Amino acid sequence: MAEPVIAHRAPAVLQLEPGTYHWCRCGRSKTQPFCDGSHQGTEFSPMAFTIDQPRKVALCQCKHTAHAPMCDGSHAKL
């Protein structure tokens, strides 16, 4: 299994509106924390997730979280 790129060692804290989002799993996207298609040619693919009501989230950007797409503090151990 390939290792993802560590995009940032801190989560992206965002207020999201209801909708479907695609979290970047590979770490290569230039529009972190979301997929921009840069995973093409790798074994990674984005993770789709849905927000049902307006909500503040902390999305993982180190790509090592065990609770994707949310930050679980793993960036502190890298």
Query: Which residues sit at the interface with ligand FES, rule CB under 6 A?
Result: 24-26, 28-29, 35-39, 44, 46
Q: Choose between 16 and 68: whose C-beta lies nearer to ligand FES.
A: 68
CB of 7 to ligand FES, least distance (A): 9
Q: Choose between 24 and 62: whose C-beta lies nearer to ligand FES.
A: 24
Q: What is the C-alpha separation between 2 and 10, in angstroms, rounded?
A: 21
Nearest one of 32, 15, 14, 10 to 23, comparing CA atoms: 32
Is residue 31 within 8 A of residue 8, CB to CB? The reply is no
Q: Choose between 43 and 53: whose C-beta lies nearer to ligand FES.
A: 43
